Amino acid sequence: MSKSGGVVRIGELSLRTGASRRSLRYYEQNRLLRSRRTANGWRDYDEADVHRVRRIAELLGHGLTVDGIRQLEACLDQHDPAECDDPARAVEVYRARLAVLDERLDRLREHRDSLWDSLGRIESGAAEPAPAGGPPVDLVPAADQTGR
């Protein structure tokens, strides 16, 4: 329980969630979090915002973007994602993000395979294959061979 009876200041919210004050202000700027301003301009948050900030951080950690999380507004305050107020929207956002992540993984696998192939050629002393029918590509640029 917060010291101020359900009202949480930004410093306390930061301590309890592990999110920096800067991150909390960023979430607020991006409409993921709302605060009330006191007469002296300080931010006050509700006790429920502790869970909301933890959920935002969890979703960011899972690879969702701020825009994607904003689309999950109806789900942010639920303790169980299966209890989301708009499950169809959540499924749509999750599937779209998974497609992006799968595409990135495919590209990373291609890059990894290419590096393994290059490493094998280097270790066996073979030159890299020529690009599109051209001459073999030297592994050391011409300027480096002359000592420049």
What is the sign of the dihedral through the CA atoms of 25, 26, 27 and 33? positive
pLDDT (tens digit per residue) in 69-112: 999 988 888 878 788 888 999 999 999 999 999 999 999 999 99
Statement: residue 2 has pLDDT above 60: no
Rounded to an integer, the average pLDDT of 47-51 is 94
Per-residue pLDDT at 81: 78
Statement: residue 118 has pLDDT above 50: yes
Q: Which of 40-44, 110-114, 124-128 has maximum average pLDDT? A: 110-114
Per-residue pLDDT at 1: 40
Calpha distance 20→10 (Å, rounded): 9
Rounded to an integer, the average pLDDT of 33-59 is 93
Residues above pLDDT 90, as percent of the chain: 65
Residue type, 125: G
Rounded to an integer, the average pLDDT of 41-67 is 94
Give the phi and the psi of residue 132 in degrees, each rounded to 5: 40, 55
> Pick from 29, 85, 90, 80: which is nearest to 55 by CA?
80
Within 10 angstroms of residue 35's Cβ, the number of other Cβ atoms is 19
Per-residue pLDDT at 145: 46
Residue 91 contacts residue 68 (beta carbons within 8 Å): no
Calpha distance 23→14 (Å, rounded): 9
